[in-house]
Amino acid sequence: MLLGISSLTVVGCTAGEDFSTPTMKLSKSFSGKSSGPVRTNDAKWWLAFNDPVINQIVDLGLKQNLDVRRIAARIEQSQGILDAAGNPIAGNARIAESRINSGGGSPTTQTGFVRAEATWKIDLFGRLRREREAAFARLEVAYADLDIWRLLFVDEIVSAYIDLRYAQELLRVQMRVLESRKATLEATRALADEGQATDLEIAQAKSLVLSTRASIPETRVLFVRMLNRIIALVGATEIPGREKFDARAPQPVAKSHIVSTGVPADLLRNRPDIVRAEQRLAEAVGLLGVAEADLYPQLVLTGNVNINVSGSEVLPGAGFLRLGFDVPIFDRHVRKAKIETAKGLVKERQAEWEKEVVLAVEEVRNSMYALDQHQKAVKAAKKAVNASEKVLEVARRRFADGSASFLQVLDAERSFLTAENAYALDVRNQAIDFVNLNVALGGSFGRG
């Protein structure tokens, strides 16, 4: 009979309002210009670097990064809450048995009983429905949290790899400068033997060699730190193919011209922090419905069945069926206060959602502008490197034939070093801006 009761559905009016997706007035593009086609939320933008090492560490880290795994465990917790939420049936079944030995030749007496009891809350005003809606929204929040951490992981590990190659490029520049300054030192000594260079110039040339050597260890430290950071982000103590990192490779340069930024409205679907804020709002709306439903009476049906056993005899069963109608009267003011609290939570989370949207648009616009400017800086820095290299060649040639001073050679070397360092930094910044832009545009890489 209880199973039959549990399959019934009683439909009444549902307290509260159904959640509707929030809206906000947004511009048609980020920069006043056409932003290209709609941005999908599964764009694996790191593939634009065309670097198999980046692809390897991202794929590996998405599977075993410890923070990602930790946040993924919250999904199981939220799923458990959802499974338990809004359940109209509660009860238990108990089996108890006792054996009594009378002794003195008396027969053994066996007694026992079976009892089943259940309570069915008839959802007249949709309280259970709203409770389940709130629990489902919490589950969606957990999925959005996972997407946020996946995105942050990709941001951090790709940025660490960019800095690793940047350190490697700085080291290459320093080693090249070291060899150049060694050559300048030898040339100065040769000129001194001919009486064309002074002891001061030899000392200055030697000082530059030593200072260059002194700067190299710190760059190596940066390289090793970034490598160890990558290994830690992957969630391991070692990483397959470590020799790929130690081998010299160019700085990552993404095909930034193929970036599709879409339109601001795409952020509402693609940014996991906005999705999270939306689901938190949905949860608040559900909880408001629960609070409003608590103002209304509650209908509860309780059933109980008992079957007793004595020896081999089954005694007649007994049971009851009780219908309860609970009316909130004495604590009504408390329940109304809870509604006001729930309304405040809805307003708070609505503002939270709007703030996330505003900040997201700001981040995209800043990243777009920074990427555009650093692309221009890379081109200018490359020209500066070529020009500085030619100046250094001319200065050395003229110093060798005595038509230029030693200070002119030193200035040319410093300018060339500064230009190469600036170029390496601009390439690094351009790559970081590409990462920042794509992170700002959001994305989800599956729920596996």
Domain boundaries, the chain: 2-16+36-347
Three-class DSSP category at 330: coil
3-state class (DSSP) for residue 110 = strand
Please measure the distance between the N-terminal and C-terminal CA atoms of the chain and give it in whole angstroms: 42
Structure-token pair, residue 143: 């999925």
- Distance, in Å, from the CA atom of 309 to the CA atom of 114, rounded to the nearest integer, reads 8
* Axis-axis angle for helices 332-400, 127-193 (nearest 10): 20
Cβ–Cβ under 8 Å, residues 8 and 243: no
Give the tokens for residue 210.
Answer: 């030593």
- E strand or H helix at 90, and its extent? strand 89-100
For 320, half-sphere exposure in the C-beta direction (CA atoms, 13 angstrom radius) is 4
| DSSP β-ladder status, 318-326 and 313-314 | unpaired
Q: In Å, how far are 152, 251, 361, 376 from 370, measured between CA atoms?
A: 20, 19, 14, 10
Q: Angle 277-282-288 (CA atoms, 0-180°, nearest 5)?
A: 125
Cα distance between residue 256 and residue 251, in whole Å = 14
Q: 323 — phi, psi (to 5°)? A: -110, 120
Q: Show pLDDT as tens, one digit a residue, over the chain (448 residues).
A: 333 333 333 445 788 889 999 999 998 888 776 666 777 778 889 999 999 999 999 998 888 888 888 888 877 787 777 777 766 666 555 555 554 545 555 555 566 667 777 777 777 788 888 888 999 999 999 999 999 998 999 999 999 999 999 999 999 999 988 988 888 888 888 888 888 778 888 898 899 899 989 999 999 999 999 999 999 998 888 887 778 888 888 999 988 666 788 889 999 999 999 999 999 999 999 999 999 988 888 888 888 777 776 666 666 667 777 777 788 888 889 989 999 999 999 999 999 999 999 999 999 999 999 999 999 999 999 999 999 999 989 988 888 787 888 788 888 888 998 999 999 999 999 999 999 999 999 988 754 4
Architecture of the domain delimited by 2-16+36-347: Up-down Bundle (1.20)
Buried b (16+ CB within 10 A) or exposed e, 226-245: bbebbbebbbeeebeeeeeb
CB 210 within 8 A of CB 178: no
Q: What is the DSSP letter of 195?
A: T
CA–CA distance, 79 with 185 (Å, rounded to integer): 71
User: Could you tell me the two tokens for 389?
Assistant: 């290299």
CA–CA separation, 188 and 190 (whole Å):
5
